Structure 1
Amino acid sequence: MKPSLAKGTRDFTSLEVSRRKYIINILQKNFELFGFQPLETPSFENLSTLTGKYGEEGDRLIFKILNSSINEAKDEKKVQMQNDFQKALDKPFSSENLTDKALRYDLTVPFARFVAMNHGKLTFPYKRYQIQPVWRADRPQKGRFREFYQCDADVVGSESLWQEVDLVQLYLKSFAELKVSVTIHINNRKILSGLAEYAGITDKLIDFTVALDKLDKIGKDGVVKELLESGISQESIDKLDFLFTQSNDALENLLLLKEKFAGNEIGLKGVEELEFVITQSLNLGVDIQNLVFDITLARGLDYYTGAIFEVKADEAQMGSIGGGGRYDNLTEVFGVKNVPGIGISFGLDRIYLVMEELNLFPEDATSNVEYLFANFGGEETFGSFKIDCSVKRERNFCRIVS
């Protein structure tokens, strides 16, 4: 049998591992510099923990784990499980008889679950970073894998908009050290809710945001087609046509929204929040070219409630290489209320591809050889081992091989 890899997965050579570590080390250093503490969670979670948090499309991409207890079940239940398994061969399954666990889809929902389970032990605001793999049953393509790493930084227990400003600084500092020129696209889910109210499609908010989030992939015509197919009228779509002709001036676009949102409380709240984040970031020296108000940015995850971010490389065609946002209600689904949160993620695998394409890896990112011995025989071998062990002992990692 010819060996092969599962679709959407990869092997990493020593060169690739070293380069990935180079990226991770820079991100980890900055996470800790900004006050974040490390956390790790299990590779798989209870299925109920994950489902219903990512929207309908996200739920379809969750890798479910087949229960291993089918052979241990009693006769009647075993027959039912076997019948369910046969049905599952023809269509996606969700029966608890077959699966009650799944590989994690992202790091945010498991983090919210952790906070809910440990909120009595945590000091708020609690800042954590997490660097681990996630899995999605997506269609593999360039920059999109079924197994990939996310590098997350989140803050829970604070409603302060200064957290958004701080995360903008974290993004820009990290990418500057990686020498990747980026633009941070920013929007606010309250603005999107305000737009839905303005167009009279509040009941179609999810359909609206899911379609809008695909603008860079399917274009205006594709978005309009999806909106029509979801039952949104042409009249409502016409009212939203200005979304596709925004100027390059973020504050000018916000001013236009203020006029359209007259009497629209949630929309005006979103404009106010976004105006604060952009203004304070600019006051701290952020270049206006690096921070763009993108009114069509929606991000497809249902749990966002406020600011949303997406980071794109300026010199490579790769889609987003980072993203995140505010999620003030996520722990409520786990029974813990009033724990606001916000977080961002760096896409390690896409960042790697961008840096490789642009030749941004320094030579010393992969070289860790400091000395080399020439071996001419047994006596020389012993001598080289003796020196080698002496150096390692000084660095506290000498290993005696018997």
Structure 2
Amino acid sequence: MAKKPSIPKGTRDFSPAELIKRNYIFDTVKKHFQLFGFQPIETPSFENLDTLMGKYGEEGDRLIFKILNSGDYISKVDDVTYSSKKSSSLTPKISEKALRYDLTVPFARYVVMHQNELDFPFKRYQIQPVWRADRPQKGRFREFYQCDADVVGANSLLQEVELIQLYDSVFTDLQLHGVTLKVNHRKILSGIAEVIGAKHLLTDFTVALDKLDKIGEEGVKKEMLDKGIHENAIALAAPLFSLSGSNTDQLDTLAALLKDSEEGSKGIAELREILQTVEALGLRSSTLAIDVTLARGLNYYTGTIFEVAPPKGVAMGSIGGGGRYDDLTGIFGLKEVSGVGISFGLDRIYLVLEELGLFPKALQRSLDVLCVNFGGQEALEALKLVGKLRSTGIKADLYPIAAKMQKQFKYANNRKVPYVISIGAQELADNSFVVKNMVNGEQQTYPLDNPQAFLETL
């Protein structure tokens, strides 16, 4: 007996109904990307391993899917390396490529390679799958799509404001009201690490702090201790765990805490300017809130960082995030090119829309009209009518075989087709067609050579 096939954990098959909903999100996001002046690009699904490694921090590097070299890759490994059984030594010998972990680093590589072809500031959007060797759980997959929008070549804080507006516009269009756009600044985090005496452990400090909503205050403190951050430093950072009040109040509190840190004070000034500008412009359905524990955990962020939380009551992690990376292209040799970008978590947005029942009902209808098949000349006339309907933008089809009417109508019901057209021998003789409304059961007859009257009812 053949073994039942399966797919890898963290991956999924998508049914037609699911893809229609996913495409609805794709189309909505893409529409707003274009309205904001972003241009599309695509990059390969896999990159050279050295392009990706070292760009996401230690945790990110572990989650990169490596691709084995073709051929007898083991024979090319020297005995010393092979016998050491150290993955860090062996991997570069047997793997030269890897599946992309995100779209930002490949974008930086793209900018460097095509810098002489681009007009700066360059605004790009990219909608492609990425892969991460993560532990699968609700809303977290090993293969998933990212939807990114980035601007490179301009260090104006107006870009951050525009990206906040972009988030708000997309979620408003999706009817996903009440999301929280969390913001912080890496320079503020650096300033905090400086004033508590843990500047040399900035990465460990921010990675642990970023997990506050997942492992709680005690869990964060334990991780910081495990990473070598002194108890006194953690005690000085404790007020961050319970910072409250309005955005202005929080900034004022942070300003007092970081008055002796030049870098921290600069971060506060930049974040204050962004918040004041957004407040002056207004948001349609989202809330902008400072979250000083937000760190994003990625090494390449240097300025403002973003994370999007779903509406309250929805048990889901972030549905978007991003930030400023002032020298990401520098890792590929192109210095002093400022960049800032955001990403939409398409799969999580899908789950949130599904949970809240926000997908338009019309998406359930993959077909507007089905013509039943009586065979012979009747089927030919039905096919002619289908062609006319399609030319006007109506999703129409003819059942492929002259099966029993019960079977054809059951098919229409399963596909949730609202209208079924019949052209039998009598209709053929009368040069007409009969339309049955599958919702209320009513039937109406229309002239076959002039279906306009029927089209006006749709």
2:77 match: secondary structure = helix
TM-superposed deviation, 1:91: 5.1
How far off is 1:82 after superposition?
Answer: 9.1
Q: Which moved more, 1:138-147 or 1:227-236?
A: 227-236
Asked if 1 retains the 8 angstrom alpha-carbon contact of 2:243 and 2:250, the reply is yes
Q: Tell me the equivalent position of 1:78.
A: 75
AA partner of residue 115 (structure 1): V
1:374 to partner: Cα distance: 1.6
Tell me which residue corresponds to 1:265: 262
User: In the TM superposition, what are the counterparts of 1:178-327 in structure 2 within 5 Å?
Assistant: 178-180=174-176, 181-286=178-283, 290-315=287-312, 316-327=314-325
1:63 equivalent to 2:89? Answer no
Whole-Å separation in 1 of the counterparts to 2:101 and 2:77: 29
- The runs of at least 4 aligned residues of structure 1 exceeding 4 Å deviation read 81-88, 90-94, 390-395
Q: Determine the C-alpha separation between the residues in 2 that align with 1:102 and 1:112.
A: 16
Shift of 1:393: 5.7
How far off its partner does 1:385 sit? 2.1
Tell whether the 8 Å contact from 2:179 to 2:311 is kept in structure 1 after alignment: yes
Q: More deviation in 77-86 or 258-267?
A: 77-86
In structure 2, the CA distance between the partners of 1:129 and 1:22, relative to structure 1 (3 Å rule), is same
* Superposition deviation, residue 97 in structure 1: 2.3
Q: What is the aligned length?
A: 392
Q: TM-score, normalised by structure 2?
A: 0.82
Residue 364 of structure 1 corresponds to 362
Structure 2: which 5+ residue stretches go unaligned?
A: 397-458
**Structure 2 CA distance for aligned equivalents of residues 126 and 378 of structure 1:** 59
> Structure 1, unaligned stretches of length 5 or more?
72-76
Identity %: 55
Closer, same or farther in 2 for the Cα pair 1:371/1:334, shift >3 Å? Answer: same
Matched residue type, 1:251: T
The answer on 1:142 being equivalent to 2:144 is: no
In 2: Cα distance, 1:362 partner to 1:39 partner: 29
User: How far did 1:83 drift?
Assistant: 8.6
Summarize deviations over 1:293-340 as a string: whole Å, max 9, x none: 000100011100000000011141101000000001100010001110
Give me the whole-angstrom Cα distance separating, in 1, the residues matched to 2:76 and 2:127: 42
Shift of 1:87: 7.1
Q: Does the C-alpha gap of structure 1 residues 228 and 127 become closer, same or farther in structure 2, counting only changes over 3 Å?
A: same
Cα offset for 1:389?
A: 3.3
Kept after mapping to 1: 8 A contact 2:52/2:100:
yes
Q: Aligned to 2:95, what secondary structure does the other structure show?
A: coil
Residue of 335, 338, 348 corresponding to 2:346: 348
Larger deviation, residues 202-211 vs 374-383: 374-383
Q: Secondary structure at the match of 2:124?
A: strand
CA deviations 1:234-253 (Å, max 9, x no partner) are 11111111101111311111
Tell me the equivalent position of 1:38.
40
Partner residue in 1 for 2:102: 106
1:74 corresponds to: none
Q: What does the per-residue CA deviation read over 1:136-188, in whole Å, with 9 as the maximum and x for residues that have no partner?
A: 00000000000001100000000000000000000011001111130001000
CA distance change for structure 1 residues 190 and 287 in 2, over 3 Å: closer, same or farther? farther
1:394 and 1:197 map into 2 onto residues whose CA distance is: 66
2: CA distance, partners of 1:84 / 1:13: 46
CA distance in 1 between partners of 2:387 and 2:377 (Å): 15
Greater CA deviation, 175-184 or 320-329? 175-184
Give distance in 2, aligned partners of 1:94 and 1:125: 41
Could you tell me how far apart the structure 2 residues matched to 1:365 and 1:339 are? 42
Distance in 1 (CA, whole Å) between partners of 2:285 and 2:61 is 36
Q: 1:366 to 1:129 in 2, by over 3 A?
A: farther
Look up the equivalent residue of 1:99 and give its one-letter code. S
- Higher mean alpha-carbon deviation, 364-373 vs 191-200, is at 364-373
Aligned with 2:29 (options 4, 24, 27): 27
1:160 to 151, 156, 160: 156
Bigger RCO (CA 8 Å, 6+ sep): 1
Q: Deviations over 1:33-59 (max 9, x none)?
A: 000001111000000000110000000
> What secondary structure does 1:372 align onto?
strand
Distance 1:360 1:86, change over 3 A: farther
CA contact (8 A) 1:81 1:98 kept: no
In the aligned structure 2, how far is the partner of 1:32 from the partner of 1:106? 21
- Taking a change above 3 Å as real, the CA distance of residues 32 and 150 of structure 1, as seen in their structure-2 partners, is same
Equivalent position to 2:147, from 134, 144, 151: 151
CA pair 372-344 structure 1, distance change in 2 beyond 3 A = same
| 1:387 Cα offset (Å) | 2.7
Distance 1:285 1:216 in 2: 28
Could you tell me how far 1:390 is from its partner in structure 2?
A: 4.3
Q: Which moved more, 1:385-394 or 1:96-105?
A: 385-394
User: 2:351 and 2:324 mapped to 1: Cα distance?
Assistant: 27
* CA distance in structure 2 between the aligned counterparts of 1:24 and 1:80, rounded to whole angstroms: 44
Task: Read off the aligned partner of 1:226 and give its amino acid letter.
Answer: E
Secondary structure at 1:45 match in 2: strand
Contact 1:185/1:309 (8 A) holds in 2: yes
Q: How far apart, in 2, do the equivalents of 1:160 and 1:17 lie?
A: 38
C-alpha separation in 2, matches of 1:157 and 1:87:
45
**Do the aligned residues in 2 keep the contact of 1:84 with 1:98 (CA within 8 Å)?**
no
Q: Report the equivalent of 1:376.
A: 374
Cα RMSD between the aligned structures?
Answer: 2.2
**1:176 matches 2:172:** yes
Shift of 1:370: 2.7
Distance 1:237 1:285 in 2: 37
Per the normalisation by structure 1, the TM-score is 0.93
